[in-house]
Amino acid sequence: MSKLAIQGGAPAKTKAFPAWPQHDELERRALLEVLESGNWWRSEGDKTAAFERAFADYHQANHGIAVTNGTHAIEVALAALDIRPGDEVIVPNATFVATASAALFAGALPRLVDVRADNFCIDPELAEAAINERSKAIIAVHLGGCPADIDALKSIANKHGIALLEDAAHAHGSEWRGRKVGALGRGGTFSFQASKTMTAGEGGIILSDDDGFERMARSVHDCGRLPGEWFYSHYHYGSNYRLSEWQGAVLLAQLTRLDEQTARRNTNGRLLDHLLSQIAGIKPQRLDSRATRNGHYAYIFHFEPRHFADITRPQFEAALQAEGIPTQPPYPPLHQLDLFQSGAYKHRLSGAQAAEDHAFLRAPFPNSVREFEETIWITQRALLGDEQDMREVAAALQKISENAAELT
Ligand SMILES: *Cc1c(COP(=O)(O)O)cnc(C)c1O
């Protein structure tokens, strides 16, 4: 094996990885049951409520509120914290735009901070340094499923009297010191969009152990209603973020596979850590020893370009895909997005805050930039394969390492 597949050689990968999404008779029966029951709306059916309960139980959380998607989950969580114009929310710069845009939807400024060089999750020291009198919350993102340093973030949030939220859209089933992530701060949010490790096409949920937060989030997600009160009484600001029974039914079925699939991805991820560490210039995303399980929305590693003939990340990805390994692009650093560069984000801010110069947007954010330019994300379905599949991933990378000069 020497000639790269992208140059016409034989791909390193011979058998196909498992497909995604997965379903079987469980989803089929669940959907038919909803269809024939005539209860297609959560307020009439029992599927979405049962799913909330089951997902919260699995994640060792007291409460779960199912919502339309993972973006809305963050919006509802911020509304439940009463975050408003004039406030600031501390957000890592390497994440999907939703983590920051949800703050903008509340009229608050997302204060972007850089991530750590080793795991590309929010840097707790930089998060603390970004706190000022307007700060109301820190959002930790468990990037790729790898838990952020919850202990450090929680103690910072407590010390300054602000909330810690987890954007756990990548981290279904991930664990920190044996506890599932998602309700380790005031609240946590998940996505069930098609690429995520459980899916109904779209969907989301908010978890929390905090009764007051749960009550507000539930009210916000249902037009400001309160459970048990008359249908046309509305107590709080709210909107309609309710999940349908179709999605609740599919997610109940998906949840039955989550634990086994998470365990498999975690085991394969640790095998890849071992295999890839032996390739010069590759460094797997660092999993803290307190992170007892990684749900692996993706398998992320950093590559040192000089060990790969200075090829770019898109060149690296294209070569890996040609070898038969599915990848997905990393997130561009938020501060580089047009949304922030053009000033369009200010349309959501109130007068005084919109008029300010947000100098932090001109900071270099070196680790978020490395996340974008020098990390490779192997798609989660590849981690559902077997040990042989992982050895073939490593072989593909070894081949690229040996032949990278051909790509320049
Ligand atoms: C997918 C995702 C979201 C948003 O979820 P949607 O269901 O797509 O709205 C939020 N944050 C992160 C980190 C995500 O990956």
pLDDT in tens, the chain (408 residues): 469 999 999 999 988 999 999 999 999 999 999 999 999 999 999 999 999 999 999 999 999 999 999 999 999 999 999 999 999 999 999 999 999 999 999 999 999 999 999 999 999 999 999 999 999 999 999 999 999 999 999 999 999 999 999 999 999 999 999 999 999 999 999 999 999 999 999 999 999 999 999 999 999 999 999 999 999 999 999 999 999 999 999 999 999 999 999 999 999 999 999 999 999 999 999 999 999 999 999 999 999 999 999 999 999 999 999 999 999 999 999 999 999 999 999 999 998 999 999 999 999 999 999 999 999 999 999 999 999 999 999 999 999 999 999 998
| Residue 191 CB–ligand 1 contact under 6 Å | yes
**CA-proximal residue: ligand 1, atom 3 (nearest):** 70
Sign of CA dihedral 347, 349, 355, 359: negative
Give me the helices (H) in 161-284, please: 211-221, 245-276
Do strands 327-328 and 375-379 pair parallel, antiparallel, or not at all (unpaired)? antiparallel
Do strands 282-284 and 179-180 pair parallel, antiparallel, or not at all (unpaired)? unpaired
Alpha carbon distance 162, 311 (integer Å):
43
For residue 71, what are the CA distances in angstroms to 113, 163, 348, 349, 393?
20, 18, 16, 19, 32
How many residues comprise the chain? Answer: 408
Alpha carbon distance 149, 134 (integer Å):
23
For this structure, is 225 an active site residue?
yes
Alpha carbon distance 385, 403 (integer Å):
26
Phi, psi (rounded to 5 degrees) for 191: -120, 145
Q: Which residue do the tokens 């994440």 mark?
A: 95
- Amino acid identity for residue 351 in this structure: G
- Beta carbons within 10 angstroms of residue 170's beta carbon: 28
Would you say 64 and 207 are in contact if contact means Cβ atoms under 8 Å apart? yes
Token pair, residue 157, equals 């949030």
Would you say 205 and 2 are in contact if contact means Cβ atoms under 8 Å apart? no
| Residue 193 CB–ligand 1 contact under 6 Å | yes
Nearest residue to 115 via CA among 358, 317, 351, 374: 374
Would you give the DSSP letter of residue 346?
G
| Residue 94 CB–ligand 1 contact under 6 Å | no
Token pair, residue 27, equals 């989803």
Would you say 77 and 98 are in contact if contact means Cβ atoms under 8 Å apart? no
**CA-proximal residue: ligand 1, atom 2 (nearest):** 169
Give me the helices (H) in 60-164, please: 70-80, 98-105, 124-129, 150-160
Give me the pLDDT at residue 224, please.
Answer: 98
Would you give the DSSP letter of residue 293?
B
Would you say 25 and 18 are in contact if contact means Cβ atoms under 8 Å apart? no
Phi, psi (rounded to 5 degrees) for 221: -75, -10
| Residue 333 CB–ligand 1 contact under 6 Å | no
| Residue 96 CB–ligand 1 contact under 6 Å | yes
Give me the pLDDT at residue 351, please.
Answer: 86
DSSP notation for 157-182:
HHHHT-EEEEE-TT-TT-EETTEETT
Catalytic pick among 87, 167, 210, 222:
167
Give the ligand 1 atom nearest the CA of 192: 7
> Under DSSP, is residue 392 helix (H, G, I), strand (E, B) or coil?
helix
Q: Which residues pair with 122 in a beta bridge?
A: 115
Do strands 175-176 and 179-180 pair parallel, antiparallel, or not at all (unpaired)? antiparallel
Give me the pLDDT at residue 261, please.
Answer: 98
Non-local CB neighbours of 198 within 8 Å, separated by 6+ positions: 172, 192, 251, 254, 255, 257, 258
Alpha carbon distance 113, 127 (integer Å):
6
Q: Which residue do the tokens 């809305």 mark?
A: 72
| Residue 327 CB–ligand 1 contact under 6 Å | no
> Under DSSP, is residue 193 helix (H, G, I), strand (E, B) or coil?
coil
Catalytic pick among 42, 47, 180, 225:
225
Q: Which among 167, 189, 197, 300 is the best mutation to test ligand 1's pocket, defined by most ligand atoms within 8 Å of the CB? A: 167
- Beta carbons within 10 angstroms of residue 343's beta carbon: 12
For this structure, is 59 an active site residue?
no
pTM of structure: 0.98
Give me the pLDDT at residue 2, please.
Answer: 65
Would you say 406 and 399 are in contact if contact means Cβ atoms under 8 Å apart? no
For this structure, is 196 an active site residue?
yes
Q: Cβ-count burial of 209 within 10 angstroms (0-12 exposed, 13-18 middle, 19+ buried)?
A: middle
| Residue 166 CB–ligand 1 contact under 6 Å | no
